[in-house]
Amino acid sequence: MNAEDTSRFVRLRVELVLEVHDEDEVGKAAMRRLAADPDLPAAERAQAEAAVTEDTAEALAYLVDPFDLVSEVPGVELQQASWSSERIDYDPDSPDWELDEEDVEDDEDEDGMG
């Protein structure tokens, strides 16, 4: 398949599990980001402030921006992004949290072992 036959669009899937050590600091950081956004209409600001104050997962969703993740990558332009956050029960020893088979194979290939 040559370059003309392939799409120039790539879907990058990322899943993160974060351990929050200080919910208050996360909330404060989200409030600082809200305060620094001059383009946010007052009604949306009030709604966002309530959300990030009440729920650390919402604060994280406000702080983690996919555009920030790829804005410095040369040769690409973010076309669309969606993300969400939620509180979860996490057990790193559970088989439910193992990497997908594709992830394991990719990691082995990068290490030169696959």
| Residues 6+ away with beta carbon under 8 Å from 61 | 83, 84, 85
pLDDT at 55: 95
The answer to whether residues 38 and 56 touch, using CB atoms and an 8 Å cutoff, is no
pLDDT at 47: 95
pTM passes above 0.75: no
pLDDT at 92: 83
The answer to whether residues 34 and 43 touch, using CB atoms and an 8 Å cutoff, is no
What are the 10-residue block averages of pLDDT along the chain, 114 residues in total?
Answer: 74 90 97 94 95 95 89 94 88 78 51 49
pLDDT at 35: 94
What is the token pair recorded at 13? 């899937």
pLDDT at 46: 95
